[in-house]
Amino acid sequence: MKDTSKSYYRGDVLVTGASSGIGKATAKRLAADGYHVFAAARRLEKMTDLKSERITVLPLDVTNEESVRSLVETISAQAGRLDVLVNNAGYGSHGALEAVSLEEAKYQFEVNVFGLMSLTQLILPIMRKQRSGKIINVSSMVGKVSVPMTGWYCASKHALEALSDALRLEVQQFGIKVVIIEPGAIKTEFNDIAKDKVNQASSIEAYQSWIETWNKILESSNQTGAEPEVIAGVIAKAVRAKQPRSRYAAPFDSKFFLFLKWLLSDKLFDRVVLSEIKKRQKLVSYSSK
């Protein structure tokens, strides 16, 4: 058991997908805020810089049942409790719905939905026993706003939003709070992985112009998106709050498009989405000259 008498100790947190981007930034931020962080990811070599007195690095493949169970057993043995679970592990499968294989689509859900829920199911008994805890699910703006060339990713995040809403109602009786984070465009290697997925799903010539357009949009995200630390700050805010909101959207582009989705009809919103895509394409084309 850990010595919790130290003034800086605020609790134990598990952050998944901590090898890069939002996950790594969140692990660092929460450790700086006084939490002991279990930083978990598949790529251990990407987390050597995280190892410290306040951060314990552990392996995790959310699609492997044995890996998930081993992680939870290790945390139970070392900490005896868990105050916060930040479900951040995931990736984006991009490409036209007609072109993405169903095998790839199933794997998208295996990582972003079933793997996440497998871990959550094993963590819940710990939180129920202690009658407290927070589960923070990192969704996306596209969990509510579907856009072209990201259909399967959008679908997985829509599913996560629905599951989170149901879970929030089910576990509030145990003192457990469920929070959804809805990031917009962020500068992470997620965009490079998404570009690879788009190019892999480029077998149908009819979508070639969309593929080129979407590659430019992903480049735009790397240039104009917010830093991962912005979302880490939002997550830290939710972790510290006694009564956190059920949803946090950031940065401004996420808040703006979610508001427009609520305000406009489907036809008008479709026009806005297509107009924004064209605008970002032009921005990248201009900056590359």
Residue 192: per-residue pLDDT: 56
Task: Round to whole Å and give the CA distance between 75 and 73.
Answer: 5
Residue 205 has pLDDT above 50, yes or no: yes
- Give residue 276's pLDDT: 81
Banded pLDDT at 282 (limits 50, 70, 90): low
- Is 107 catalytic? The answer is no
Look at residue 224 and tell me whether its pLDDT is greater than 80: no
Q: What is the mean pLDDT of the chain?
A: 89
Question: Helix %, strand %, coil % for the chain, to 5?
Answer: 60, 15, 30
97-135 tens-digit pLDDT: 998 999 999 999 999 999 999 999 999 999 999 999 999
**pLDDT at residue 195, as a whole number:** 52
CATH architecture for the domain at 11-284: 3-Layer(aba) Sandwich (3.40)
Report residue 209's pLDDT band, with 50, 70 and 90 as the boundaries: confident
The span from the CA of 20 to the CA of 194, in Å, is: 15
Instruction: Retrieve residue 55's tokens.
Output: 């951060």
Confidence of residue 5 (pLDDT cuts 50, 70, 90): very low
DSSP-assigned states of every residue in 172-211: GGGTEEEEEEEE-SB-STHHHHHHHHHHHT---GGGHHHH
- Structure token digits, residue 123: 């963590």
25-40: per-residue pLDDT in tens? 999 999 999 999 999 9
Tell me whether the omega of the peptide bond preceding residue 251 falls within 30 degrees of 0, making it cis. yes
Active site residue 289: no
What is the reported pLDDT for 201?
Answer: 55
pLDDT in tens, 151-190: 999 999 999 999 999 999 999 999 999 999 999 988 866 5
pLDDT digits (tens, 9 = 90+) for 51-85: 999 999 999 999 999 999 999 999 999 999 999 99
Q: Which of 35, 134, 140, 153 is catalytic?
A: 153
Please tell me the predicted confidence (pLDDT) of residue 102: 94
Q: Which two tokens mark 115?
A: 């793997």
Q: Is 19 a catalytic residue?
A: yes
pLDDT at 3: 47
Tell me: pLDDT of 199 over 60.
no
Domain ranges of the chain: 11-284
Please list, in sequence order, all residues whose beta carbon lies within 8 angstroms of the beta carbon of residue 250, skipping any fewer than 6 positions away.
181, 182, 183, 184, 226, 230, 231, 234
Catalytic residue among 67, 93, 118, 139: 139
Catalytic residue, candidates 28, 157, 177, 195? 157
Q: What does the pLDDT average to over 221-245?
A: 91
Give the pairing of strands 84-87 and 55-59. unpaired
Choosing from 19, 67, 220, 254, which is the catalytic residue?
A: 19
| pLDDT class of 242 with cuts at 50, 70, 90 | very high
In the residue annotation, 157 being an active-site residue is answered as: yes
Q: Is the pTM of this model over 0.85?
A: yes
pLDDT at 139 over 90: yes
